[in-house]
Amino acid sequence: MKQDTPILEAEHVSLRFGGVRALTDVSFSVRRGELFSIIGPNGAGKTSMVNCISGRYRPTEGRILFDGQDITALGPNKRAGLGIGRTFQNLALFGHMSVLDNILVGRHHLMRHGFLTGMVYWLFGAQKEELEHRRAVEDIIDFLEIQHIRKAPAGTLPYGLRKRVELARAIALRPRLILLDEPMAGMNLEEKEDMARFIVDLNEEWGMTVIMIEHDMGVVMDISHRVIVLDFGKKIAEGTPDQVLADPHVKRAYLGEEDEVLVDETERVE
């Protein structure tokens, strides 16, 4: 595994649903250890892009390379095994399971004991494996500060905590690349700060490469290393937060035609 190769490459990815062009010829690459953001107005194709990476959609054209391997044709469950984890824009927890079980589901591809040995829990080491993974899960629970809800059914939790449990479940996969689809949507300031801290820690301390979709520009510009901007399914800009903010295409996409007010806005954000 060479360190200088990008962990993820999207090559000329296009996605069409009938006549609707969700993505058109999008190419970018994400470097190992990067915190990479995808931004763009509503309906720009950000979630479609993430779905192409995680395997929910298969691109109509183009290729997705993970760690140099072509994964365009792999099913989502295979990609999880390779080390791609994700969270969802609309919560997608297993509502009737406890938080603990939700996170343990994330360990699925790391565990070996199937139903036969599982049924005789004590005999062939299924118990040992369960307890080992429980320990790993507890580390994640500690990290995300959700100890108090570990036994609660996930469906009963408030929104902010559900988002956090979903992040925990994605981390439990032990992914090398984690895709976060609007991790801070609908959160208050305090929750956003917590979440931003978790994401930075994941990136810096746990060494995960992060691809994040987020609408909160303050957060995106603060913590991202690089950003790409999508608009109507096309990539209109790529670069560091500063470069992207200065890009005239981006200004047009977000605010319509360029004018005096807009320049002031940009300076304030910086």
Partner 1 sequence: MATLALTPCGDFRTSYREDTTIFPTRTSRNVAIASVALLCLVPLTGDRYVLSLMIQMGYLGIAALGLNILVGFTGQISIGHAAFFGFGAFSSAWLVDQGVPVVAAMPLAGVMTTAVGMVFGIPAARLKGLYLAIATLAAQFIIEDFFARARWFTGGVAGRVTEPLTLFGLRFDTNESYFYVVLFYVVVMFVAASNLMRTRDGRALVAVRDHYLSAEMMGINLTYYRTLSFGISSFYAGIGGALYAHYLLFVSVEAFNILFSIQFLGMIIIGGLGSVMGSMMGAVFMTMLPEVVQWFAAALSGSAIDRALGLGAAVSYLREMTIGAVIILFLIFEPDGLAHRWRLIKAYWKLYPFSH
Residues that bind partner 1 (CB under 8 A): 54-56, 75-78, 80-81, 85-86, 88, 92-97, 101, 104-109, 111, 113-115, 118-121, 126-127, 129-131, 134-135, 138, 169, 173
Token couple for 18? 């009938």
CB 167 → partner 1: shortest distance, Å?
13
CB 178 → partner 1: shortest distance, Å?
12
Closest C-alpha to 165, from 216, 98, 84: 98
Q: Which is nearer to partner 1, 114 or 158 (CB)?
A: 114
Q: Which is nearer to partner 1, 94 or 232 (CB)?
A: 94
CB 240 → partner 1: shortest distance, Å?
30
DSSP letter string over the chain?
--SSS-SEEEEEEEEEETTEEEEEEEEEEE-TT-EEEEE-STTSSHHHHHHHHHTSS--SEEEEEETTEE-TT--HHHHHHHTEEE--SS----TTSBHHHHHHHHTGGG----HHHHHTTTTSSHHHHHHHHHHHHHHHHHHHT-GGGTTSBGGGS-HHHHHHHHHHHHHHT--SEEEEESTTTT--HHHHHHHHHHHHHHHHTS--EEEEE-S-HHHHHHH-SEEEEEETTEEEEEESHHHHHH-HHHHHHHHSS--HHHHHHHHHH-
Q: Which is nearer to partner 1, 61 or 132 (CB)?
A: 132
Answer whether 176's CB lies under 8 Å from 34's CB. Answer: no
Q: Which is nearer to partner 1, 137 or 229 (CB)?
A: 137
CA dihedral sign of residues 1, 71, 13, 34: negative
CB 25 → partner 1: shortest distance, Å?
26
CB 108 → partner 1: shortest distance, Å?
5
Q: Which is nearer to partner 1, 168 or 196 (CB)?
A: 168
CB 218 → partner 1: shortest distance, Å?
28
CB 195 → partner 1: shortest distance, Å?
19
Q: Which is nearer to partner 1, 50 or 202 (CB)?
A: 50
Q: Which is nearer to partner 1, 75 or 218 (CB)?
A: 75
